[in-house]
Structure formats: structure tokens, C-alpha cells
Amino acid sequence: MIDEILKYNKQFVAEKGYERFITTKYPDKKIAILSCMDTRLTELLPAALGIKNGDVKMIKNAGGIISHPFGSVIRSLLVAIYELGVTEVMVIAHSDCGACHMSSEQMIAHMKARGIKQETIDMMRFCGVDFESWLYGFGDTEKSVRQTVDAILNHPLIPHDIRVSGYIIDSVTGELTPVE
């Protein structure tokens, strides 16, 4: 499959398919969106929000959550705010999320089935990895959005003038529902 993608890429560049996507690194709408990496949202989310290439900074991960106060999501938000002019942050979770009710025990079982040794997992635990919190998803999507919004609003390095809001998008219709 990767070979097919690479072949397509060569053709895309040769035919100058990139020209309609040319923009700057600065988001035109000064918004960063933290969302889930779910494949259903790849085209649905921008279409449902009326955003195009260059409009926003898009940050995606499993569940659209902040799993660590100094992890890659907060780092990306700090870059977006301080270096790229973002003034608003939207946290957008979605219906029927795979991270909802995700189990660290089940994920570890999958790791072992794929050849990861128990000794490796034990060694990582000894070094401070808390698999239970790191690999756990969430049980309630609205609560997860509220916690993520709160984590951003109360982060010591996020300026207080940044507007942060939370939503859930229907992964079929694209309807956006605010989370208070």
C-alpha cells in the first residue's frame, strides 16, 4: 500500500497538484483544533466546519485528549499560540470514538500477542510508565472534552487571553454540539 501512495505522490508533484494547497504556516483563522485521529473525521471535520487548507492548525491524537501536561499536544498548542498567532482553541471529540472505554489491560494483551515481552512492559513500569493512565481512554465523551478544555485553560504556560471551547461532532452527520 505504501508503494501505491509513493507512486501517486510522484504523479501529484509532476502534475503540480500541490498548487491549490499553497499557503503560509500561519493559520488564517488564528484557531487551533485538537481532535481525534479517527479516519471518519479526515474530510468530514473540515467540511462540516467550512475550513480549508491554511485556515487552522490541526492537532490530532487518539481521543483528542491531553494525556500529559507537558506532552506533544500542549507543546503543539504552545507553538501555535506563541509562534504562529493562534488566539482560539477548539477541542472537538466525536461520537462513537474508539478511545471511549479503551482498556490498558486489553492494549497490553494486544502488545504481548504481537511479540512485546512482559519483561519489556515490566521494565517500562519500573522506569515510571503508568500504563493504566497512559493507555486508558475515557468513559464519557462530554466529560473528556471538559477535562481537556480545563487542562488547556488551567495550564501554567497557556496565556489567559486564549479562548478555549469544547464540542462533540457527530461522526456521521458532522453536526457540532457545544460542551458546556
Quick one: DSSP state of residue 19? G
d(CA 141, CA 86): 25
Binding site for Zn(2+): residue ranges? Answer: 36, 38, 94, 97
CB 158 within 8 Å of CB 79? no
Residue closest to 152 by CA, chosen among 83, 84, 161: 161
Asked whether the CA dihedral 167, 169, 170, 175 is positive or negative, the reply is: positive
Q: Are 144 and 93 in contact (CB under 8 A)?
A: yes
Nine cell digits for residue 170: 457527530
Count CB atoms within 10 A of the CB of residue 148: 25
Q: Which residues are annotated as a binding site?
A: 36, 38, 94, 97
Task: Summarize the chain as % helix, strand, coil (round to 5).
Answer: 40, 20, 40
